[in-house]
Structure 1
C-alpha cells in the first residue's frame, strides 16, 4: 500500500526524533551513539549501479566508488557527524547514490574523530589526502570538494587552507546542510529546534566540546570558517532544508560569500530536516537535491 506523502514524512520525522534526536540530547558515550547511528544507516539502500573498492589514502581507511562508465571528475566527500560520529558505514549509501547520479568517481574517508582526536587532527589528515590525490596525478581542476554537516565545515576549512597556502584549489565546493559557526549564534538553532527531526543543539555542543575542549576559541576561522575571508573560493553549491537548525549557517555563508565575489548556488528544500539527502530513496525533495547536485557538478566539468 502506498503511503500518502504527508503521512510518510510525519512518520519518518517521528521515528528520527525518537531514535536519533532525543537520545543525542543526553550525555551518552560517543561509542554508544556511533553504534546507534551505524545501525540506523543500515536502512539506506546501497546503489547497485556502482563499484565500491576499499582503499587506503594517507594512512586512512577509504572507499573509492566508481560508476560503470569512465569519469573525468572526482568528488572528494567529507562525511558529517558533529566531529565525533559518522564514517564509511554511515555514508556509503549516499556516496553510491551521488556516484550513480553524477557518473563521477567518489572518494570518502574515515578521518580521525573526536574525542580521540581533537582539532586539528581531522583537518590535517584531510589535507594529506588531498595532497596525495594531487601526487597521484589527479589535477585540482578535476576535484570537487564536498561535505555534509561538520564535513562541510572541514571541506570549507580545507579549501581555505589551500587558498592561504597559495596551492591549487578544487574546481568547486559542495556544502550539504553545512555546520559552519561553532559559536552557535545562528538564529535558526532556536526557531527550528523543534522542527529538525535529526539534529539537536545538544549533539552540536557535545561535538564542539569533544573537538575543541578548552584549547581553541569557537570563533577561530579555522574552526568556524564562516568567519574567514571567503574571497577567492571556487564556485560553491549550498543545499539546506527549511527545518534545519543549521539553516542560518547556510544562509549566512551564502550572503558573505556572494559579498566576497564567490559564485554561489543556494538551494533551499522545503520541509526537509538535517542531512535529508541521505533519505533520497523515499523523498522527492531529497531526490531533487541529488539532481541539483549532479547538474552543478557537470557544469563545473564543462567549465
Structure 2
C-alpha cells in the first residue's frame, strides 16, 4: 500500500511531536533527554558508502566522514541541540547523507555542552578546532563552516571570531534552521508554535538558561550573532522550513546580511519543520535541501 506524501507527513509530525517536542517541554534532566535523542536518531538511515574515521582534534572527540579518498573541500559541521543536547551520534547518519550528496569530506566534533560547560566554552572549542585545521595545513578557502539550529549560531559566531582575529576566513557558511537570536524576539516563535513538529519554545528557553551565564546580555553578538556587524562575511546559504518556530531568525538574518552586502542564498521549504533536512530518506523537500546545500558548496569550490 502506497502512503500519500501528505499522510506520511502528518504521521511523521504526530510522531515527532509525541517523541521529541512533548518531552522537551518538561523539566527533565539533560542526560535523560540526550539519551532519548540518541536512541531516536538511530531511525535515520546511515549511508554505508561513507568511510567514518574517529579522531581527536583540539582535545575533542571527532569524526571524519569521507565519501572518497580525495576531496577538495572540507565541511566543518557543528551540530545543534539548543546548546545542551546533541552529539556525534545524533548527527552521524545525517552527515553521511551530506557527505554522499556533496562528495566532500565532513568533520564534526563533540563540543562541550551546557549546563556543564556554559558560554563561551562551545565557541572557544570550535574556534580551537578551526585553528588546528589551519595549523594542519588545510587552507581556509577549502573549509566550509556549517551548522544546524544552535550549531548554526556557533558556526556564524565562529566566522565572526575569525574575522575579529583577522585570520583567514572560511570560504562559506551553511546555516540550517538557524537559532541566531537568544532574546527570542522572532515572531515565528509565536505563529509557528503549534506547527513546528520538532522544536518547542520551552526547549529553547531551557537551552538559554543552561548556556548563558547569569547577568549576561543575551543580545551580545557572541551569543546572538544576529545582532553582529555582518560586513565582510563569506557567502552564506540559509535553509528554513515554513512551519518552524525559528523561521524568522533565518528571514531576519537574511535581510540584515543583504544590507551588509553579504552574498546570501535563502531557501524556505514548504510544510517543513525545524531540522527537516535530517529526514531526507523520507521527504522530497529534505532531499531537495541537501541538493541545494550541495550546489552551494560546489559553487564555492569552483570559485
TM-score class normalised by the smaller sequence: over 0.9
Other-structure match for 1:71: 71
Other-structure match for 1:195: 195
Write the distance in 2 (CA, Å) between the matches of 1:90 and 1:8.
Answer: 22
- The question of whether the paired residues in 2 share the 8 Å contact of 1:258 and 1:264 is answered with yes
Write the distance in 2 (CA, Å) between the matches of 1:180 and 1:96.
Answer: 25
Write the distance in 2 (CA, Å) between the matches of 1:129 and 1:69.
Answer: 22
Shift of residue 49, structure 1, vs aligned partner: 1.5
Write the distance in 1 (CA, Å) between the matches of 2:298 and 2:233.
Answer: 18
CA offsets, 1:55-106, max 9 Å, x none?
Answer: 1011101000001252100000000000000010000011100000000000
Write the distance in 2 (CA, Å) between the matches of 1:118 and 1:213.
Answer: 7
Write the distance in 1 (CA, Å) between the matches of 2:111 and 2:137.
Answer: 22
- The question of whether the paired residues in 2 share the 8 Å contact of 1:49 and 1:68 is answered with no
Other-structure match for 1:126: 126
Other-structure match for 1:114: 114
Other-structure match for 2:208: 208
CA offsets, 1:29-52, max 9 Å, x none?
Answer: 000100110011000011012100
Write the distance in 2 (CA, Å) between the matches of 1:215 and 1:109.
Answer: 29
- Structural mapping, 1:1-303, within 5 Å: 1-303=1-303
After TM superposition, the score normalised by the length of structure 2 is 0.99
- The question of whether the paired residues in 1 share the 8 Å contact of 2:119 and 2:213 is answered with no
Shift of residue 215, structure 1, vs aligned partner: 4.0
- The question of whether the paired residues in 1 share the 8 Å contact of 2:54 and 2:63 is answered with yes
Write the distance in 2 (CA, Å) between the matches of 1:11 and 1:201.
Answer: 22
Write the distance in 1 (CA, Å) between the matches of 2:32 and 2:216.
Answer: 26
Write the distance in 1 (CA, Å) between the matches of 2:138 and 2:165.
Answer: 19
Deviates more, 1:66-75 or 1:157-166: 66-75
Write the distance in 2 (CA, Å) between the matches of 1:92 and 1:68.
Answer: 17
Write the distance in 1 (CA, Å) between the matches of 2:236 and 2:282.
Answer: 26
- The question of whether the paired residues in 2 share the 8 Å contact of 1:197 and 1:273 is answered with yes
Regions of 4+ moved over 3 Å: none
Write the distance in 1 (CA, Å) between the matches of 2:137 and 2:148.
Answer: 26
Count of residues paired in the alignment: 303
- The question of whether the paired residues in 2 share the 8 Å contact of 1:176 and 1:239 is answered with yes
Write the distance in 2 (CA, Å) between the matches of 1:14 and 1:78.
Answer: 27
Write the distance in 1 (CA, Å) between the matches of 2:300 and 2:30.
Answer: 38
Write the distance in 1 (CA, Å) between the matches of 2:175 and 2:201.
Answer: 20
CA offsets, 1:97-151, max 9 Å, x none?
Answer: 0000000000000000000000000000000000000001000000000000000
Write the distance in 1 (CA, Å) between the matches of 2:123 and 2:277.
Answer: 24
CA RMSD of aligned residues (A): 0.6
Write the distance in 1 (CA, Å) between the matches of 2:115 and 2:231.
Answer: 32
Task: Name the SS for the 1:124 alignment partner.
Answer: helix
Write the distance in 2 (CA, Å) between the matches of 1:28 and 1:209.
Answer: 14
CA offsets, 1:161-202, max 9 Å, x none?
Answer: 110111111000000000000000000000000000000000
Query: Where do 5+ consecutive residues of structure 2 fail to align?
Result: none
Write the distance in 1 (CA, Å) between the matches of 2:111 and 2:240.
Answer: 24
